Amino acid sequence: MAAGEQVVTKRGLSLHGLGVICGLAAGVWLGAAEAPTKLVNVGLSPFAVSLCMVAGVFTARWTFPTLLKGTGYVFEDLMEKKHLIVWALLAGALWAVANTLTVFAIRDVGLAVAFPLWNANSLIGLFWGRVLFRELEGANAKNIGKVVLGAVAIVIAAVMLGFSTIHGGTTQAHHAMSGILAAFGASLMWGTMYVPYRKAYLSGMNPLSFVTAFTVGELGTVLALTLALDGGLHSPSFQLFHHRGLVFWLFLGGFVWVVGDLFQQFAAKYLGIGRGIPLSNTNQLWGLAWGALVFGELAGADRQHKLLVLAGSAVMILGAMAIGTAVASSREQTSNNEAVLRECERYGLDYNRTLAAMAGDEFGGRDERRRWWDYVIVAAATLLFVWLGLRAVVPPLAMNLAWVAVLGALLVVSLAVGGWCLWRRTRFC
């Protein structure tokens, strides 16, 4: 890793620091992404909400890699590591199932409570990272303590938030339990989804290339779920596309999610899934902010309910931050390099080039020129959003617009800081 250390000195930002910045920026954007799915509370099918949101995700996921690197770079990267295409498709399928479950969870228990429940995915990701990729092998006692205590804190927080939703009559408790199960199901799917992430980055793949294949898996899975479980070709989900005033907001939710997920991908690359994912799960704080401040979800809650939600959120944040601040020791970095070597031997990759890619150093002189079709892709996606935006109507929901403006400004700031750090340190590699 000598070459990687030289780059750190020259550019003045460690890979750990970059990963932390990406993880925090991911939290801000992922927290905001679920706000448009509140539309499910005005009578829309959860499948319709998920399908429209994923359509927006599909549009944005092709746009950002094209804009930042060009399709020539992306497809060269994919063809160099063809075995990862299948893993990316699998990750997209898991994401799609999880995203659909989150819509059911929001419908039954609300955004402010559902978010912390499904953020137990960091515990699932930590488990897979340790078992499959030997993360934390060689870590010192202090780092192991941070990770273990952080994981326990996440479980305790999830239990606290789960019990905080079960109050009132039988019907209310029934709906709350359905929402809790949906949120934990999403947690399991998302936690397992990080396995393909880790395989991709141990093989040196650029996150921008990975998400290009990823999006095909997610769109295909959502279409399959809609056809199988929501009325086939006669599903009301397809009719929603005629209501352009609502479709824009769901497309926007998908767009916001893509920005957050790209930051999360870079965090997973530079910190590993055991650290990067818990750090990005600070999105629960931002989800709580959107749910409580913008939509007033906690306005009618009693004191005990609010205390449980706030205490559970605080405990989960502390647990995630404990994991995220456990900086890898030299012995642990050596173990990580051994994991890279295993992937290289398994798939016939060049070890030194892969290590350089993991350190954010470009290699191979890939062509990043923008061709005419790259500009067509970006222009088409932009025109689609503009066209839907011009026909958009304000959702029939009570919202605090002042808080929308404040939280929106924070989105812009986090994007600017995270994007600048990525460009300066790695040129989005």
Report whether pLDDT(5) > 50: no
Instruction: Return the DSSP state at 371.
Output: P
Only one residue has tokens 């892969």, namely 354
CA–centroid distance for 44 within its chain: 24
Give the percent of the chain with pLDDT over 70: 87
For residue 244 the two structure tokens come to 């352009």
User: What are the residue ranges of helices labelled H in 34-68?
Assistant: 46-68
Average pLDDT on 319-326 reads 80
Determine what percent of the chain falls in helix, strand and coil, rounding each to the nearest 5.
Answer: 80, 0, 20
Q: Which of 78-87, 92-101, 233-242, 270-279 has the lowest mean pLDDT?
A: 233-242
Write the single-letter amino acid at 347.
Answer: Y
Instruction: Return the DSSP state at 328.
Output: P
Structure confidence at residue 37 (pLDDT):
66
Rg (CA), the chain: 21
Report whether pLDDT(419) > 90: yes
Q: Which three-class secondary structure state does DSSP give residue 63?
A: helix
- CA distances 17 to 33, 266, 276, 337, Å, are 25, 12, 11, 19
Structure confidence at residue 3 (pLDDT):
41
Residue among 265, 3, 326, 406 at smallest CA distance from 136: 326
**Cβ 289 vs Cβ 309: under 8 Å:** no
Crossing angle, helix 207-229 and helix 244-271, to 10 degrees?
A: 130
Phi, then psi, of 345 in degrees rounded to 5: -70, -35
Average pLDDT on 296-319 reads 79
Is this structure's pTM higher than 0.85?
no
Average pLDDT on 238-252 reads 76
Structure confidence at residue 218 (pLDDT):
87
Report whether pLDDT(332) > 80: yes
- Residues ≥6 apart with Cβ < 8 Å to 366: 72, 73, 76, 77
Structure confidence at residue 424 (pLDDT):
87
